[in-house]
């Protein structure tokens, strides 16, 4: 699939003159969690001003929680100012993956589904962007709406920095876990949906990803606990022939998510879009790529081979 750009070379010039007014290093990692989160090269605000819809009055101050020493899962809550953290590969091959940590659209599991994934991607020559998207869910909106706005903006900003960050703008993918997996699916399928009014020239850049990697994705079916054939794919899942190539991995014992992913795979096959699906027999949910979590957490090995097969990496 070839992503179409709107006068990209001209936009690159326009964007490069605009970005310095807001794309500065604006957010660090709090000291009490820094030992669990690898430091990015730079962290940028997604929006030059407040994000679409502003900041709800009921959203408290942003909080980073380190978890325990035995299970160091850094959780970020009350995100009102979304950011993107750039992790460059030492020997970049041109590919870049925009990463969405999971957390039920309530919190973000920032390290084991974010920065640790960026480290793995960097090890195979792929640069990464970890998105700290808005949580918790915004009242009166679909659970994924504010995060999807942030996702679309992050993809556009990644392409806006393509020359500076040594990225091929036609090798930009999305990857996410659980709710972040659902967000990955929405970003891959709903790229043509106008989720916000343009705020600057960055928003003229295409936000369609070139590939998608939802890992143990949530919310793909109307009910994740309903095993009946009547429970179809969720109304938030709109698969057609314009969807990008997709890699999915989910454990068989992860509620009903394997069955949901299987239905997703079948629909992708029906519309003629390449899709690779892996369902290890056990593993549960939320394992990331941590080596003590068994075979299910080794999905990244298959994913690396898939990225080569679709010619996103050499």
**Tens of pLDDT along 111-163?**
999 999 999 999 999 999 999 999 999 999 999 999 999 999 999 999 999 99
Residue 231 in domain: yes
Distance from chain centroid for Cα 94: 18
**pLDDT band, very low/low/confident/very high, at 249 (cuts 50, 70, 90):** very high
Q: What is the secondary structure of 183-222 as a DSSP string? A: HHHHHHH-TTS--S---SGGGGS----SEEEEES--S-BS
Residue 67: pLDDT band with limits 50, 70, 90? confident
Say yes or no to pLDDT of 312 above 80: yes
Instruction: Give the CATH number for residue 237.
Output: 3.40.50.1820
User: What domain range is 138 assigned to?
Assistant: 8-309
Mean pLDDT of 256-264: 94
Q: Are 265 and 277 in contact (CB under 8 A)?
A: yes
Residue 229 has what pLDDT? 52
d(CA 94, CA 133): 24
- In total, how many domains does the chain have? 1
pLDDT for 222 equals 77
Share of the chain above pLDDT 90, in %: 80
* Rounded (5°) CA angle 38-82-206: 100
pLDDT above 80 for 2: no
How confident is the model over 251-267, as a mean pLDDT? 94
Task: Say what the pLDDT of residue 214 is.
Answer: 99
- Helix (H) or strand (E) run with residue 180 in it: helix 179-189
Predicted local distance difference test score (pLDDT) of residue 228: 57
Instruction: Work out the number of other CB atoms within 10 angstroms of the CB of residue 151.
Output: 30
314 falls within a domain: no
- pLDDT at residue 226 in the model: 64
Q: Phi and psi (nearest 5°) for 284?
A: 70, -135
pLDDT at 288: 97
Largest CA distance in the chain: 54
Cα–Cα separations (whole angstroms), residue 7 to 13, 79, 180, 205, 283: 10, 34, 31, 9, 45
Let me know if residue 62 belongs to a domain: yes
pTM, two decimal places: 0.91
Backbone angles phi, psi at 174, to 5 degrees: -130, 145
Q: Is the pLDDT of residue 17 over 60?
A: no
Model confidence at 18: pLDDT above 60: no
Other Cβ atoms within 10 Å of 240 Cβ, number = 12
Q: Report yes or no: 45 and 21 within 8 Å, Cβ to Cβ.
A: no
Model pLDDT, residue 299: 98
Residue 10 confidence (pLDDT) above 50:
no
Residue 122 domain-assigned (yes or no): yes
Q: Is residue 67 part of a domain?
A: yes
- Tell me, yes or no, whether 1 lies in a domain: no
Return the pLDDT at 225.
66
Q: Are 156 and 195 in contact (CB under 8 A)?
A: no
The average confidence (pLDDT) of the chain is 90
Q: Average the pLDDT over 15-25 and give the result.
A: 40
Mean pLDDT across the stretch 288-305? Answer: 96
In a domain, 124, yes or no: yes
Cβ count within 10 A of residue 103:
23
Tokens 């640069």 map to which residue?
Answer: 127
């Amino acid at each position: 699939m070839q992503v179409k750009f709107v006068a990209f070379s001209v936009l690159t010039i326009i964007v490069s003159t605009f970005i310095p007014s807001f794309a500065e290093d604006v957010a660090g990692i709090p000291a009490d969690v820094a030992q669990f989160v690898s430091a990015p090269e730079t962290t940028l605000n997604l929006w030059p001003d407040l994000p679409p819809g502003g900041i709800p009055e009921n959203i408290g101050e942003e909080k980073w929680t380190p978890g325990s020493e035995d299970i160091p899962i850094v959780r970020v809550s009350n995100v009102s100012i979304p950011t993107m953290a750039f992790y460059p590969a030492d020997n970049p091959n041109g590919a870049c993956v925009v990463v969405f940590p999971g957390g039920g659209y309530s919190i973000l599991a920032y390290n084991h589904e974010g920065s640790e994934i960026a480290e793995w991607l960097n090890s195979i020559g792929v640069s990464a962007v970890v998105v700290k998207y808005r949580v918790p869910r915004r009242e009166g909106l679909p659970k994924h709406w504010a995060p999807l706005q942030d996702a679309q903006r992050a993809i556009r900003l990644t392409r806006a920095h393509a020359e500076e960050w040594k990225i091929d703008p036609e090798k930009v993918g999305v990857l996410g876990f659980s709710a972040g997996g659902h967000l990955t699916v929405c970003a891959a399928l709903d790229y043509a949906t106008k989720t916000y009014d343009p705020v600057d020239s960055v928003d003229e850049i295409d936000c369609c990803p070139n590939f998608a990697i939802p890992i143990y994705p949530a919310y793909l079916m109307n009910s994740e606990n309903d095993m009946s054939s009547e429970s179809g794919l969720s109304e938030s899942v709109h698969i057609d022939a314009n969807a990008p190539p997709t890699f999915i991995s989910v454990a068989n014992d992860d509620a009903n998510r394997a069955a949901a992913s299987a239905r997703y795979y079948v629909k992708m096959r029906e519309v003629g879009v390449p899709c690779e699906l892996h369902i290890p027999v056990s593993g549960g949910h939320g394992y990331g790529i941590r080596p003590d979590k068994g075979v299910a957490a080794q999905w990244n090995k298959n994913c690396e081979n898939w990225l080569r097969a679709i010619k996103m990496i050499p």
